[in-house]
Amino acid sequence: MNKVDVLLGLQWGDEGKGKVIDVLTPDYDVVTRFQGGPNAGHTLEFDGQKYVLRSIPSGIFQGDKVNVIGNGVVLDPALFKAEAEALSASGHDLTQRLYISKKAHLIMPTHRVLDAANEAAKGAAKVGTTGKGIGPTYTDKVSRNGLRVGDILHGFEQKYAAAKARHESILKGMNYTDYDITQAEKEWMDGIEYLKRFKLIDSEHYINQLIEEGKSILCEGAQGTMLDVDFGSYPFVTSSNTICAGACTGLGVAPNRIGDVYGIIKAYCTRVGSGPFPTELFDATGDALCNKGHEFGSVTGRKRRCGWIDLVALKYAVMINGVTKLIMMKSDVLDDFDTIKACVAYEVDGETIDYFPYELSDKVKPVYKELPGWKTDMTSMKKESEFPQAFNDYIDFLEDELNVPIKIVSVGPDREQTIVRYLPE
């Protein structure tokens, strides 16, 4: 039976999903996003150029492959227009090969205001969202008040006005009235018109037809498993299911049609925004990871919090997603370290646990295993046989702990800095 493959992040996002999607796209006919929205920032580098994609799938640079924005995505038409126009200006016209689900929900200007208002109301307990209106848009979807892309084709003005009035009344109730969306609304309406240039489709039919025809499909996740609304570090999460099951609901793909699940990990760990992060480092080592890894948000520019790899959380992510192959990114960032640490258990109230607990409270302390660093510049390596022994040992250790093979190793941001490992079938 023909199946679709899913690629997703196993940590708190920014693992390098965009780069890997671009690298794998030549093996597929179609690439599709299934959840999230412009809270994502997926970076690709090739031919000395760097692109950051937010709503548009990362398969658009390899030939003229069709890319699909699925029903599980939330779309901001103004940001989408800016993104697509910038790509068009750099020679990548997408109107004929980017399809958008009519069932994807629209992020309205007032959703962004609501995002800010919700954060302000939470005060010190704020989530540290990207401010893109993600939470309020998914809230409207689930409470059956949302606007969908398909709505722009019929009687849209009334639907928009009703939704906006609803938001305004919520904001008034929150005493949050000091905002002005005049300019944002104008750009948004331009974005709505711009959307009509694209193929707006029932993407579940399209995708299932492709599956029947034997076509190969790669599903691109956004955010990461630790930001999943059900299984992540709730409430410090995003508002969608970032896990593999999200590809089923976000595209209309049946569970028995899921093939390989590629789990993307950094060789260490980062997080942006608030919330628990047991292996976070507040010392010079953390600064070194941040500087060497250029760990600043691709959307917000915020400094990413850095720490060692967390195998307790990763085992959980492997389980929830049914990961079949791992892809390890940014191993070059560890090239200079004498010693590398990996969290193999948590200590909670004096007790050692090796499973992911209900809550990652401040009481959760990492228990580390130390491994020797490889102290070798790996950035220009091209094949597995060049790997230093200490690096192979790190890989063996991770594979043993996670019980999943590492198929690809990334040694730099460029498309070319990618090494596929030989795995016996």
Return the active site residues. 14, 42
Closest to 2 (Cα-Cα) out of 34, 30, 33 = 30
Gap between the terminal Cα atoms of the chain: 19
Judged by CB under 6 A, the stretch of 15-23, 78-86, 120-128, 309-317 that binds ligand GDP is: 15-23
Which residues 22-51 are close enough to bind Mg ion by CB under 5 A?
Answer: 41
Using CA atoms, how far apart are residues 315 and 155, in angstroms rounded to an integer? 48
240 binds ligand GDP (CB under 6 A): no
Among 321, 327, 413, 419, which residue interacts with ligand GDP (rule: CB under 6 A)?
Answer: 413
**Cis amide bond preceding 235, omega within 30:** yes
Tell me the residue nearest to ligand GDP as measured from the CB.
43
SS (H, E, C) 32-77: EECCECCCCCEEEEECCEEEEECCCCCCCCCCCCEEEECCCEEECH
Buried b (16+ CB within 10 A) or exposed e, 9-36: bbbbbbbbbbbbbbbbbeebebbbbbbb
Question: Which does residue 258 touch among ligand GDP, Mg ion, ligand IMO, none (CB within 5 to 8 A, set by kind)?
Answer: none
Q: SS3 of 386, please?
A: helix
Among 24, 333, 343, 408, which residue interacts with ligand GDP (rule: CB under 6 A)?
Answer: 333
Amino acid in the structure at residue 206:
Y
Closer to Mg ion by CB, 128 or 373: give it. Answer: 128
Question: Which does residue 45 touch among Mg ion, ligand IMO, ligand GDP, none (CB within 5 to 8 A, set by kind)?
Answer: ligand GDP
Closest to 318 (Cα-Cα) out of 8, 26, 14 = 8
105 to 144: interface string for ligand IMO, x by CB under 6 A: ----------------------xxxx-x-xx---------
Instruction: Report, in Å, the least distance between residue 221 CB and ligand IMO.
Output: 8
Closer to ligand GDP by CB, 202 or 377: give it. Answer: 377
Closer to ligand GDP by CB, 315 or 330: give it. Answer: 330
14 binds ligand IMO (CB under 6 A): yes
14 binds Mg ion (CB under 5 A): yes
225 binds ligand IMO (CB under 6 A): no
Beta-carbon-side half-sphere exposure of residue 18 (alpha carbons within 13 Å): 24
Torsion over CA of 4, 77, 43 and 300, rounded to 10 degrees?
-130
- Binding footprint of ligand GDP on the chain (CB under 6 A): 9, 13-19, 40-43, 45, 293, 298, 329-330, 332-333, 410-413
